[in-house]
Amino acid sequence: MPDPTRLLFVCLGNICRSPSGENVMRHIVDAEGLSDSFEIDSAGTADWHTGNPPDSRMNAAANSRGITMIGSARQVEPDDFATFDWIFAMDRSNHDDLLDVRDQCPNPTARLILFCEFCEEHEEDEVPDPYYGGPEGFEKVLDLLEDGCASFLKRWKDHVLP
C-alpha cells in the first residue's frame, strides 16, 4: 500500500477555518472509503488558541451538515513542511506567514497553496474568517470547504493535481 497523502489545513488561530477544512476533508474521504489513503491535520499560524477545541459556532454549523468536528488547536511548525504533502492556506495573510515558516524548514517538500484554488463552484479566492461575524459566515466557510475538498479529492483520484 502506498504512503498516505498528508494534508494540512492552516488558518490564523486553528479554531474555525482550518479545523473545519480538516474535518470536512475527513468526512468526504471517509464517505469514499479512502480513510487509509490520507492523513489529515490542521494548524494555525498563531498560538493564541493552542489546545482549544474548534469554535462552538463552527461545531454547530458543521454538525448541522453531519460533519463531526474533532481536534485541538496547534501552531504550525517548520517541520510540517517536511511532513505534509499539501499545505492549504485559508487566505493570503496565512499564505504569507507560511512562507516565513517554510523558510525555517531545512527540507521543505510540501506544496503550499491557497485553498480556494481548488474551489470549482465558488468564485472566492480566500476562505473568509467567520470569527467576528454571524452564523452565515460559518455556513459560507463550510460551503467553500466542501467545494474545494471535493474538488481536491476528485483531482487526487484522477491523478490530475497541479
Q: Which residues are catalytic?
A: 11, 17, 129
How many residues are present in the chain?
Answer: 162
Q: Which residues have a Cβ under 8 Å from the Cβ of 95 and sit 6 or more positions away? A: 89, 112, 114
The whole-angstrom separation of Cα 95 and Cα 101 is 10
Q: Cα(55)–Cα(20) distance, rounded to whole angstroms?
A: 10
What residue has cell string 527540507? 107
